Amino acid sequence: MQTGPVFRSCGASALLMVPPLLKFASGPLLGPAMLVGAAERAGHTVEVLDLNARWIAQALPAKLPWTPSPFVGDHDRDEDLLRLVQERFRLTMLQHVGGEGGRALSLDAMVALQAEHDSVEHAARSIAANEQRWITAQFGSTPRPDLFCVSVLYAGQVLWALAVTLAARERWPGVPVVWGGAHVTALAAEIAADPRYGIAADAFVAGYAEDTFVELLGAVATRAPWPRECFRAGSQQWERARADDGQIVPAFRDLHLPSGARLTLPAQISRGCAYGRCAFCTYPTTEGPYRELRTASAEGVIAEAIRRDANVSFKDSLLTAPLLRKVGRLVDGRLSWSGCTKLSPSLDVAMLMDLASQGCRTLEIGLETLLDEAQVLVDKRQSGDLFLRTLDAANDAGVALVINYMTGFPGVDPSEEARCLATVASEVSARVSLLAKIEHNHFELERGAPLSQRPPAGVRITGQWPWSSVLGWSYEPAPGTLRVVS
């Protein structure tokens, strides 16, 4: 059992919890680390309780060693072992999502949280009661904080986030609770409109919140009014937290890695998306306007990674060619790094060889689809020839590729999607020295995405749930055309 932290008497103290389960185990999240760095710079104390990393570490089979991946970044993971962990997590959760009176949740509904408030609350209370011993062990001897905070990235973490919040309220009565993170940002309008979300927290914060977090801790320490960006469920109003200038150096805490895994530290040199037009994407909604950041934060992460012999994963939504060059100059070959980009004529063999010499080992490419009709639908047009030239350039430069691909778009022939995906896979396999993988996802209609705000002809929204960012939908084509149903 890990002994809890001892908080300093200066300023306010906070405990920041990351709930399970996320699909990676190579290192900490950037958001909580940024909050810790900002708070400590202002004289406060924040400790991180990374229950995701802890859950994965204790769920791994003891006799099966973690095999390092040839990829750098989020995809540096042992896929086989991670699947075992995910299956164990799903089986554990199934023990808690049943109930009477319409409260039962299916496995699929549990993952996407396609359930009403009473079902969600019932499942969360079951987890809090039946997993009490494990949750209590994770708290350890942590003293009573002044503030309990929760960071939620997506709907699959909500049930555990609620359960641990309930346990924290029981352990430390009267300690205020604040929730934030990308999922809270995605649901901010719904939370502000409905007081039933108040089971989760006394207040919520939407958006990047380093400055707001520091102001909140100052208010807690001095018993002053909270900043207006901290909004209550059902308050009928909310506003995004103020953006910082990116100078904060993140402080990484509570690091748990599987035995044999390599540490990867996250960094950013921009926020928002430089493209920002993909009709299926919620990044413009959750991340706010695109802006480049000062490099002090990333430089601090690079220095920390060098000290720890770690890799760095740049978490920017889109590293354009100029930003990739900037990252290359910052790293200058001192460690291995990864980033996410999109197809560009600039990504030729000369540029990729330069990036490789500066430490770039993996690029994640947002290809999504090569079908013309699907590209028009999602407003992301990229040519097949450019894709093939990028494969050749990466092959020659020795840069690994993770290729994001999506099928299941409304109104698009599934057989054509399957054919196109098979062609992409064949082209990847044909380059025998290229290290690449296709990350295949099924299209989901997300709250806040342009396609849900302005559904195309034939698309009808059939369901929405309070804690889920995914909407139910169907597609009804015009008479005489192909019928496709999600």
Q: 337-341 and 311-314 as β-strands: parallel, antiparallel, unpaired? A: parallel
Bond prior to 421 in cis (omega within 30° of 0): no
- Residue 8: the pLDDT is 42
- Residue 61: the pLDDT is 83
- Residue 219: the pLDDT is 97
Phi, psi of 27 (to 5 degrees): 165, -175
pTM for the whole structure: 0.93
Amino acid at site 479? P
**Can you say how many angstroms the Cα of residue 271 is from the centroid of all Cα atoms in its chain?**
14
Q: Sign of the CA dihedral 25, 26, 30, 33?
A: positive
- Residue 2: the pLDDT is 36
Phi, psi of 437 (to 5 degrees): -140, 150
- Residue 6: the pLDDT is 39
Q: 45-50 and 147-151 as β-strands: parallel, antiparallel, unpaired? A: unpaired
Put the strands of the sheet holding 459-463 in their side by side order.
Answer: 445-446, 470-475, 459-463
Per-residue pLDDT of the chain (486 residues; tens, 9 = 90+): 333 443 444 699 999 999 999 988 889 999 999 999 999 999 999 999 999 999 998 888 877 888 889 999 999 999 999 889 988 898 888 877 765 444 556 666 777 888 899 989 998 999 999 999 999 999 999 999 999 999 999 999 999 999 999 999 999 999 999 999 999 999 999 999 999 999 989 999 999 999 999 999 999 999 999 999 999 999 999 999 976 656 899 999 998 888 888 999 999 999 999 999 999 999 988 998 999 999 999 999 999 999 999 999 999 999 999 999 999 999 999 999 999 999 999 999 999 999 999 999 999 999 999 999 999 999 999 999 999 999 999 999 999 999 999 999 999 999 999 999 999 999 999 999 999 999 999 999 999 999 999 999 999 999 999 999 999 999 998 665 544 444
Which domains, and CATH codes, for the chain?
Answer: 13-222 (no CATH), 264-475 (3.20.20.70)
